[in-house]
Structure 1
Amino acid sequence: MTASETLLRDLSDDEARAALPLKWGSTSPDVLPAWVAEMDYAVAEPVRDAVCAAVLASHTGYPALDAGGALGTAYAGFAERRFGQRIDPALVLPVVDVTAGIRLVLDVLCDPAPVVVPLPAYPPQLAVVGITGRERWDLPVSPDAERAGIDLDRLDALLAAGARTVLLTQPHNPCGHVYTRTELEGVRDLVLRHGARVISDEIHAPLVLPGATHVPYLSLPGTAEHAVALVSASKAFNVAGLRCAQVLCADPATHRRLAGAPEVRNDSWSPLGVVGAIAAYRHGDAWLDALLARLDDQRALLGELLATELPQARWRRPEATYLAWLDLRGYGVDDPTGPALRHGVRLSPGTDYHPGLPGHLRLNFATSPERLTEAVRRLAVSLGSGSGPR
């Protein structure tokens, strides 16, 4: 048996419905859920065992309200092993989740000026800018572009017009794009020229698949004073419900500003989330490697299924994550998730990520090969394509 077969266990339908109450529990039993960014796999044993031990020890009180510590040390070790990135553990600040961390950074560090958000984008990122009282300036990626990179000329124009923050998601959700060093250096140079700031959401960094390499934004020279990164074990280890992410700084003064913010801005991360994150970062490498092998296989399977069942579909083969951004405009349906749901598969509408863009959807392929095959088959049937019932 392969490592992925021995370390990674598929949840049964009943187990998934109990373990994933939003993704599976809120979906009709006759519908396959391939929408929320959660994986249909049992939690890694080191994380499960650590959290269970913490509960048995009644470790359910308030978390320690400080930075660094065991969590900072665990993440620093993980980042060096996985990405070759050197991090000062003392500059690792816990937050409840990545979106809350983005809001904290916008409130504490960023000018009250427009924020550039590349499209498509994770829906909470589209919403969080306005919640902080700032204007959101969208920077769309053309659906016909070969790569889902940033249009640097357009970014330059937006910064020249007054934007002062760039919200990156790298690796990208939903496109699965992994930014190259050259691409990130282009962003850095523009931000430095205009005196702006970068918030780099790197929640999917551990999920870079074979063929690509994650470059942490803060690993680039000249970024420490204008950037922070947001990371978490939640996506890679399927522990979003444990509620603990981290803000990374490379500049002590920046860290002091964030850590010194009023407690009400950042007081709700979970002590069990800290325990789970430490276990994932310290002891989860073998499980994560097995996961990446499975996701690589699933990515290949999805490519084969699309070629057979949905030949008019267009996609950029994702370089990271377990999410596929599908262009189904060739089937002439503005929102293909509607007919898909009527045929028994739930997917995420493209307009949630890129308002006004027709014919797109996001598909989660972190499931079993059998479920993925059936989900694509149902989608194809819903659009009048594919091989029909089997």
Structure 2
Amino acid sequence: MRFPELEELKNRRTLKWTRFPEDVLPLWVAESDFGTCPPLKEAMADAVEREVFGYPPDATGLNDALAGFYERRYGFGPKPESVFAIPDVVRGLKLAIEHFTKPGSAIIVPLPAYPPFIELPKVTGRQAIYIDAHEYDLKEIEKAFADGAGSLLFCNPHNPLGTVFSEEYIRELTDIAAKYDARIIVDEIHAPLVFEGTHVVAAGVSKNAANTCITITATSKAWNTAGLKCAQIFFTNEADVKAWKNLSDITRDGVSILGLIAAETVYNEGEEFLDESIQILKDNRDFAAAELEKLGVKVYAPDSTYLMWLDFAGTKIEEAPSKILREEGKVMLNDGAAFGGFTTCARLNFACSRETLEEGLRRIASVL
């Protein structure tokens, strides 16, 4: 695995590297510092050479590529004809709420949550019912459905806690949803990055799961393609497929043709790169967790993905850890307040070289 030099990373000019002054080391937003997957880089260079800048074609190989990847990697793949490209995961979540849940019904949002999850009830005109994501208590979820909630935003693996949910848990969860004619809206964007064991595709565990789940995923995290604007939504019952096809193109459109090429490429040819990435991330996770625990930080070591939830309660920076670390340590972590009011917490991105991670941890230690 090649890690670009610091100046190369800065020259990417992405959000991660432009939001804060150059003397601040960015360990925040979910962009990785890894070099690009070689087949992906070749596919993008080829597309540019061929001047592939027009409208996306009606048919591509993405559907088969995703279905094949899911089957190989997780043991369950959707039917290719039930897979559809969308611009990004958040758009998919919004469309699922607006068109596949009971009109006006409340949304269950586990906290802490990826910040757009907190915004989605507001932008869709729904009420939010918040539950504790540390527990994900089924009794609490059932009560919310019994009280009229129409859906649950289910991030599996979870961002920011890194929880990977078991088949048994998902089966019980989807049985409860089916009982109340509710929907489980599943965000599987972090699924390729499970560290131990195999990711469980929620929609594949039972008939109830197939009928209640709407699954949304993307190559954005595992292969660092967020800017290419191509996520995927897939359905596991025919009624949902039919309903999706009846939506206006204006509602669904916005996918990038380069994103289509990128996603198809990495699903077909990106697993060697993925496996290498996972090993590096596991090593970084273990190293960072051990070092931060020595500093008195409560660490939620993730079972998937490269984002680590940290609680600085009891340390001298507990009142505003992200702000203080940025100002005094010149290292940027995501502010836990944005994930649902967790003011003593922060989220650290460890998808970087060991050298960068060591420097980031040194800066954190200098403040603590």
Task: Give TM-score scaled by structure 2 length.
Answer: 0.96
List per-residue Cα deviations over 1:2-22 (Å, max 9, x = no partner): xxxxxx211211111122520
Q: 1:100 aligns with which of 91, 95, 100?
A: 91
Q: 2-side partners of 1:20 and 1:276: how far apart?
A: 20
Identity %: 34
Given the alignment of the two structures, is residue 129 of structure 1 paired with residue 121 of structure 2, yes or no? yes
Pairwise CA distance, 1:358: 2.6
Instruction: Report the 3-state secondary structure (helix = DSSP H, G, I; strand = E; otherwise coil) of the residue aligned with 2:18.
Output: coil
Q: 2:309 aligns with which of 325, 333, 342?
A: 325
Residue 168 of structure 1 deviates from its aligned partner by 0.3
Deviation at 1:56, TM superposition (A): 1.3
8 A contact 2:335–2:343 mirrored in 1: no
The match for 2:12 is 19
Match of 1:63 in 2: 56
Shift of residue 156 of structure 1?
A: 1.2
- Tell whether the 8 Å contact from 1:180 to 1:215 is kept in structure 2 after alignment: yes
Q: Does 1:89 align with 2:80?
A: yes
Answer whether contact 1:103 1:128 (CA < 8 A) is retained: yes
Structure 2 unaligned spans of 5+: none
Distance 2:115 2:302 in 1: 19
Which of 183-192 and 227-236 deviates more?
Answer: 183-192
- Superposition deviation, residue 149 in structure 1: 4.2
Shift of 1:315: 1.7
> Are the aligned partners of 2:86 and 2:255 in contact in 1 as well (CA < 8 Å)?
yes
For 1:220, the aligned partner's letter is V
1:372 counterpart residue number: 357
Cα offsets for 1:30-77 (capped at 9, x unmatched): 1110000010111101011111111211211111356xx411000111
Q: 2: distance between equivalents of 1:151 and 1:364?
A: 27
Code of the aligned partner of 1:44: C
Root-mean-square deviation (Å): 1.3
Letter in 2 for 1:40: D
Is 1:304 the counterpart of 2:276? The answer is no
In the superposition, the TM-score normalised over structure 1's length comes to: 0.91
Provide the C-alpha distance between the structure 2 equivalents of 1:20 and 1:296, rounded to a whole number of angstroms: 27
For 2:98 and 2:39, the matched residues in 1 are separated by 36
Match of 2:185 in 1: 199
Residue 168 in structure 1 maps to residue 154 in structure 2: yes
Match of 1:54 among 9, 34, 47: 47
Aligned to 1:257: 243
Q: Deviations over 1:205-232 (max 9, x none)?
A: 000012x431011111122222110011
CA distance in 2, matches of 1:96, 1:138: 27
Q: What is the alpha-carbon distance in structure 1 between the residues aligned to residue 249 and residue 156 of structure 2?
A: 28
Does residue 340 (structure 1) correspond to residue 340 (structure 2)? The answer is no
Rounded Cα–Cα distance in structure 2 between residues aligned with 1:214 and 1:30: 38
1:117-156 matched pairs, under 5 angstroms: 117-141=109-133, 148-156=134-142
Q: Give 3-state SS (helix, strand or coil) of 2:253's partner.
A: coil
Contact 1:93 1:259 in 2 (8 A): no
Letter in 1 for 2:35: A
Q: State the AA in 1 paired with 2:203.
A: L
Query: Which consecutive aligned stretches of 4+ in structure 1 deviate over 3 angstroms post-superposition?
Result: none
